[in-house]
Structure 1
């Protein structure tokens, strides 16, 4: 059992919904989670975090767009409902103090990551953290703040949370985890200037392996971007 952010007790196992054939692993999750395996031999885990107001079920269609075998896809859902959306969720509020709920989300994401690694008998360096928009902010925050060597962190149309906190945790050590940072030059939700600020911050922190690209699009994921995501994952898996 675990405690949800609103204090209610919930069964971790009952939170996991398998798409397709169910794997025998005993996945536990403090959040609603959609899991999907591709291939017969899991070599990597891709934890994918949806954007503000979206949900795990909708974002899980990404697994069908990225053609990579021998992968366990995990799509957690933000712990708090987004009251203005239909079945929408959020990782932290945008219109009130986010610190406590952001910490809850961070703890839940890392718990999912470590549990999945244990169940698949994989090291964390075989795990990708991917996110879109607010989910990208959480992927970068969790992946870098934890200081675990991951297979890669992918930020799609995102932004950075408290870069000074991440920078201070490294104390001059380089960031070994490969990074993929993508954004749309017509994004009216998270302005393109945020993308350039993020690149400057990551370079200043000592990111050694960083790939970045600006796409001709708005606040969405394009087919060109899908192809680049696939190449990045295949290169660093």
Structure 2
């Protein structure tokens, strides 16, 4: 059995898991940052969704003076066209592939798995989902951008060409400007991806109204 090297927090449903949400945190955070969101989703008590909140590996982050923190990839500059270290992005993609494979081998089909992420985690989830070779249930990209800035990733896979994608962004986001999220959205729309965009009156964060909307979206993809 393929086993991911990523440590993680797993929240199991009361019944046997038949679906899964893999949710990636942002820069400097950990899986513990988003794990408490599960009760806030107010899912039906008999839901069968496993939530996995992996911890990114520790790495030096250039824009933070080389300080070592949990990061899915190095951020080299604030310039969107030179921000993401693609070596790190690809390493994280491989780790997420292992997580997905673990779920498949446990009996959960790929089309019952949602890749979700916030900020850096959203970048990796979107990048990985668009390139993944089996159809996923959905891709959720919160307050993030594409690592290739103004172009879609290379080696897109047809398996997820029709997969539903949810993009959310805060109108007051000063960490990841909304324009970078809109750039990604424009590219996806132009290539006829099934992408849903919604803006919220918030900074670089999530808020209760948005969590309610996310809950409905997750349930729609997994039921």
Fold shared, TM-score > 0.5 on shorter chain: yes
Q: Equivalent residue for 1:79?
A: 57
Q: Equivalent residue for 2:104?
A: 117
1:133-159 CA deviation, whole Å, 9 max, x = no partner? 010000000111114211110111111
Residue 175 of structure 1: how far off its partner (Å): 1.3
Question: Quick check: 1:45–1:128 contact (8 Å CA) kept in 2?
Answer: yes
Question: Quick check: 2:73–2:88 contact (8 Å CA) kept in 1?
Answer: yes
Question: Quick check: 2:139–2:164 contact (8 Å CA) kept in 1?
Answer: yes
Q: RCO greater where, 1 or 2, for CA within 8 Å and sep 6 or more?
A: 2
Residue 80 of structure 1: how far off its partner (Å): 2.2
> After superposition, where does 1:153-168 map in structure 2 within 5 Å?
153-162=139-148, 164=151, 166=153
Q: Equivalent residue for 1:210?
A: 195
Question: Quick check: 1:80–1:92 contact (8 Å CA) kept in 2?
Answer: no
Instruction: Name the CA distance, whole Å, in 1 between partners of 2:8 and 2:115.
Output: 15
Residue 63 of structure 1: how far off its partner (Å): 1.8
1:158-212 CA deviation, whole Å, 9 max, x = no partner? 11122645365358x98111011000000000111112211101112220x2221
With over 3 angstroms needed to count, the CA separation of the structure-2 counterparts of 1:58 and 1:169, relative to structure 1, is closer
Instruction: Name the CA distance, whole Å, in 2 between partners of 1:86 and 1:101.
Output: 16
Instruction: Name the CA distance, whole Å, in 2 between partners of 1:50 and 1:149.
Output: 23
RMSD: 2.5
Question: Quick check: 1:160–1:198 contact (8 Å CA) kept in 2?
Answer: yes
Instruction: Name the CA distance, whole Å, in 2 between partners of 1:77 and 1:106.
Output: 13
Question: Quick check: 1:79–1:91 contact (8 Å CA) kept in 2?
Answer: yes
92-101 or 142-151, which moves further after superposition? 92-101
Residue 99 of structure 1: how far off its partner (Å): 2.3
Q: Equivalent residue for 2:135?
A: 149
Q: Equivalent residue for 1:56?
A: 31
Which one of 198, 219, 224 corresponds to residue 204 of structure 2?
219
With over 3 angstroms needed to count, the CA separation of the structure-2 counterparts of 1:167 and 1:206, relative to structure 1, is farther
1:235 and 2:210 correspond? no
Q: Equivalent residue for 1:102?
A: 89
- Structure 1 runs of 4+ aligned residues shifted over 2 Å read 26-29, 80-88, 162-171
Gaps of 5+ in 2: 78-83
Q: Give the count of matched residue pairs.
A: 209
Instruction: Name the CA distance, whole Å, in 2 between partners of 1:215 and 1:197.
Output: 17
TM-score by length of 1: 0.80
SS at match of 2:156: helix
Question: Quick check: 1:132–1:156 contact (8 Å CA) kept in 2?
Answer: yes
Instruction: Name the CA distance, whole Å, in 1 between partners of 2:60 and 2:70.
Output: 5
TM-score by length of 2: 0.85
